[in-house]
Amino acid sequence: MIRINHIKQLYQPARIGALLLVCSLLLSACQKEDLQPRLVIDPVEGRILAADTLRSGSFLGMQIGDSHEMVYEKIKNIALEKNIDMLWVTNPQFSGIEVLKDKLGYYSDLRLSNKWRPSEYVLFQIENDRIKTIYNPEGRQLSKWPGGRQYRYTINTGDPVDALYPKLLQLQSSARYKDYFSAISAFAKFISKPYDARMSASAEWYLNYRQPDKKTVARHTLLFKEGTLREIRSLVQAMP
């Protein structure tokens, strides 16, 4: 095992929520803008206690050289022990909701945006296979989308994900809403759900969990290249 960049000195970084930190990394990797900052991973912030980079050997069962799918299965194996329920996966934006057929419940976030006008988007949060919340670009919570009269294709909070896909297909075929499907993103992957083949195109995954001492949080960046795990960057951060 090779470890480099071990940091023992303590310092206080600028105050920032964990969500904004992870989202900024995700958006940078995917060249995205304006992700609604209501997707809370874990509101932990504090000084960095230690950092390591692993480029050979294994960590938490994840072996350098493993494929994306192998790494995912190993994360699932430790999910209960480490109390991990979410994995953040960078992926390029895509067009066409068909990409997520039968997989809408795999992610806790779904953002539909206009490729030509990035400030025009709607964000859905999913929990327990239902629409939990809907947000507009101003951060206002909506009870349904689109607004106005209730139609067969109207998406409401509380809708099951099984009912979501046909509604999205209908909206996508509408001249009024089709541009919302020109730049689709979904980052926050439920560990409890099956592997999504889209994850194999990702170069970076982010994995966070609280340590048993309840005073620190571990954050891991998993870097992939040419289909295999090449590097794990880890840090331990103090709870505020």
Residues 146 and 202 in one domain: no
Residue 20 covered by a domain: yes
Q: Read off the tokens for 93.
A: 């934006």
Cα–Cα dist 183/95, whole Å: 5
Residue 191 covered by a domain: no
Residues 201 and 84 in one domain: yes
Of 45-49, 119-123, 208-212, the poorest mean pLDDT is in 45-49
Q: How far is CA 165 from CA 84, 106, 190, 199, in A?
A: 27, 13, 18, 20
Name the residue range of residue 118's domain.
98-186
9: buried, middle or exposed (CB in 10 Å: 19+, 13-18, 0-12)? exposed
Residues 32 and 117 in one domain: no
Q: Read off the tokens for 238.
A: 């103090």
Q: What's this model's pTM, rounded to 2 decimal places?
A: 0.77
Each residue's pLDDT tens digit, 41-63? 444 457 898 999 999 999 999 99
Q: Which of 186, 204, 222 is the last residue of a domain?
A: 186
Element (H, E) at 69: helix 68-82
Q: What percent of the chain has pLDDT over 70?
A: 81
Of 46, 177, 45, 49, nearest to 113 by C-alpha is 177
* pLDDT for the residue 239: 79
Q: Evaluate the omega torsion of the peptide bond into residue 194 and state whether it is cis, within 30 degrees of 0.
A: no
E-strand stretches of 191-227 = 204-210, 216-225
- Distant-in-sequence, close-in-space partners of 63: CB < 8 Å, separation ≥ 6: 57, 70, 229
